[in-house]
Chains A and B, each alone.
Chain A
C-alpha cells in the first residue's frame, strides 16, 4: 500500500486549516497568489519552445542514436552495461523521452533485470536538467544562465555513476 497519495491532500488541508486559525482571508489570498500563474506560464513559452524543438530535432535526426553506439564500447570497458546509456543521455534532455526509454527497457529486459534497475535508479535520481533550466530561467527572462548548466550536468553525471555503482553493488 502506498501512502504517498495522502501527501498532497493533507498538505492542502494543513495550509488552509492553519490559515483559518490565523484568521487569514484564505479565499482572497488564494486568488491573489494564483493570479501570477498564468502570466508566468506565458512568459516561459519562448524558452520552452527554444529548448524543446532543439531536443526534438536532435532525437528525430538519429544523431543521438549514433552517438550512443559510438560511446557504448567505452561504457563496456568500465563495466557499465551499455544498454543503460540511452537513459543517461536522454534523462537530462526530456522527461517524456526518458519515460519512453524506461518503458522500452522494461519490455525488452524485464523488471527484474539489472539493466532496468540501473536505468530506473538513474531516472529516479535526477531531473530533466534542460527543462528545469528553460522553465526556471524563462520565468525571470534571463538567458545568460552562468554556470547553472555546467553544475547541473556535473550533478547528473555523478548521479548516473552513483546509480550504476550502487545497483551493481547491491543487486549482483
Chain B
C-alpha cells in the first residue's frame, strides 16, 4: 500500500507536469517568440521607455553592446511579463533581460523579445525533489539533538523507576491496546510516555519517545522485516493522537483564538483515535485469519 501511494505520487506528478507543460506549449501561455515594439527616450545612461502593452513607463539600462535591455520585474509590468519573469529559467527572478532584435536610433524605436519560457512544471518538480532531499537531511540532523535530549532524560526516568510507576498507573489501557505485550516489558514505558507527550501537545518530545518505543517493539517482533500488529496499532494511535492541549504550532498561528477550539479538537481527536484503534484491531484480525 505504502509503495503504491509513494509511486503513485511520483508518477502522477511527472505525468501531470509534462501534460501541463505541453498544454502551455500548445496554447503558448508565455507568448514565446512574440516581438514587442515601442518608442524609447534616452537620458544619459538610463533610458525611459513607454511601450504598448503596459501603461506605465519602464526604466531600463542598455548593455554595452546594445544587444540587451535589463529591466526590473515589478508590479508596473504587464501581467504576462511578470509571469515570464517569475517562471524564466535564470536564477535571478527580479530582472528581465530583453533581447533587442531591431533598433532605429533616429525614430527612437525598439523591437525586443522576452526570454522564452519552457518546461515550467517539469523544472518545478525537479527543483522540489532536490530541495526536499536536502531538507530531509537537515530535518533529521535537527532531530538528532532533540532525540538526544529526550532519550537522555528518558534513561534517567527509567533508572529511577519513575516510568515504572507511570506505566502501572495506565496499565489497564495499555493492556487493552497491546494485549500481547507482557506487563514488565520496558516498551510499555516508552509507549505511555509517547502517548502522554502527544496528549499534552508536545510534538518534539513525543517523536523521540515514539522512536524508542518502535525500537523496543522491533525487539519483540518475530518477523524483523515487517511491521508487527503492535507497531501498526502504535502508529495508528500516534497519527490520530488524543490531544488534551492543542499542538504548540497551532497556538502560535491562531493565538488566543485557539481557546474556543479546545473542545472541538478534543472531540475530533477522540473520534479519530477510536477509529484508529478499531481499524487497527480489525486489520490485525484480518491478518491473523
What residues of chain A have their CB less than 8 Å away from a CB belonging to chain B? 2, 4, 7-8, 11-12, 14-16, 18-19, 21-22, 24, 26, 29-38, 40-42, 44-45, 48-63, 66, 92, 95, 99, 102-103, 106, 111-112, 117, 120-129, 132-133, 135-137, 139-140, 142-152, 154-159, 161-163, 166-167, 170
Give chain B residues whose Cβ lies under 8 Å from the Cβ of A128: 239
Interface size on B, residues (CB 8 A): 109
Cα distance, A15 to B239, chains bound together (Å): 27
Cα distance, A156 to B145, chains bound together (Å): 29
Binds A, one of B14-22, B48-56, B71-79: B14-22
Q: How far is the CB of A106 from chain B (nearest CB, A)?
A: 7
- B-side interface mostly: helix
Check: B243 CB closer than 8 A to any chain A CB. yes
With A37-B208, A156-B240 known to touch, is A136 a contact of B161 (CB < 8 Å)?
no
Check: B153 CB closer than 8 A to any chain A CB. yes
- Whether A12 lies near B153 (C-beta < 8 A) is yes
Give chain B residues whose Cβ lies under 8 Å from the Cβ of A162: 267-268, 270-272
- Whether A57 lies near B271 (C-beta < 8 A) is no
- Whether A146 lies near B257 (C-beta < 8 A) is no
Cα distance, A129 to B139, chains bound together (Å): 16
- Whether A159 lies near B271 (C-beta < 8 A) is yes
B139-172 with Cβ < 8 A to chain A = 139-141, 143-149, 151-162
Give chain A residues whose Cβ lies under 8 Å from the Cβ of B5: 149
Give chain B residues whose Cβ lies under 8 Å from the Cβ of A145: 1-2, 226-227, 232, 235
- Whether B133 lies near A133 (C-beta < 8 A) is no
Give chain A residues whose Cβ lies under 8 Å from the Cβ of B131: 56
Give chain B residues whose Cβ lies under 8 Å from the Cβ of A26: 156
Q: How far is the CB of B123 from chain A (nearest CB, A)?
A: 9
B240-289 with Cβ < 8 A to chain A = 240-241, 243, 245-251, 253-255, 257-258, 260-261, 263-265, 267-276, 279-280, 283-284, 287
